[in-house]
Chains A and B, each alone.
Chain A
């Protein structure tokens, strides 16, 4: 059964610092997604990573995918308070995108302090 694990689960950091969130998954998949969730809100799509070596960047966030290592990273550069949220990675269960079934990591709660 596919398992998705994130670490750390909680991250408190100062504004201006860099950090990386890791997402490991247990079976082969070429499709990995990153979502953001603010308290009491729904999930907002951040990145879609569709192949080995994929790298996507948006503002201070950069996501990458290594399918051989079954690892994705979400790197935060020069954090600002507005990035405070919970970040989830999710993996498509059969890698084809045709199942509509995502398995989510536990989520990483990021708190950026001024």
Chain B
């Protein structure tokens, strides 16, 4: 069974630009969660989607948004990038109520 995939794996952007990251969950998983990992703040929850609906949102500004498609694939978008948005962005998929399996992550660098 294929694992969680994320594209792209690496991104370099400049301040003020926007970026879209993609996540394909494990087949059959309908829940996709997104996390931001930085050395200073650790792993922080961004949001979670289940059956195309956002069920939970973390404490991030509105510049961070996401969506989920009918095939459970998910995208997250960050607009008006700031230097502090440089991070490893991880998505995880799960069957409802079970453990989350993480993808390899997208490393975003904002210059």
Contact = CB atoms under 8 A, between A and B. Distances in A.
A98 B96 CA distance: 6
Interface residues of A, number: 23
Contacts of B92: 43
Interface string B38-51: 00001111001110
A48 interface: yes
Given A42-B90, A99-B55, A104 B100 contact: no
A100 B42 contact: no
A101 B58 contact: yes
Given A42-B90, A43-B90, A88-B43, A100 B100 contact: yes
Interface in A66-100: 88, 90, 93, 96-100
Contacts of A44: 102
B56 to A, nearest CB: 5
Contacts of B94: 100
Interface in B85-100: 90, 92, 94, 96-100
B102 A97 contact: no
A41 B105 CA distance: 8
A102 interface: yes
B64 interface: no
B3 to A, nearest CB: 9
Interface of B: 31-33, 35, 42-45, 48-50, 55-56, 58, 90, 92, 94, 96-105
Given A43-B102, A48-B98, A102-B45, 18 more contacts: A42-B105, A43-B90, A43-B92, A45-B99, A45-B100, A97-B97, A97-B98, A98-B96, A99-B56, A100-B32, A100-B49, A100-B55, A101-B58, A102-B33, A102-B35, A104-B35, A106-B42, A107-B43
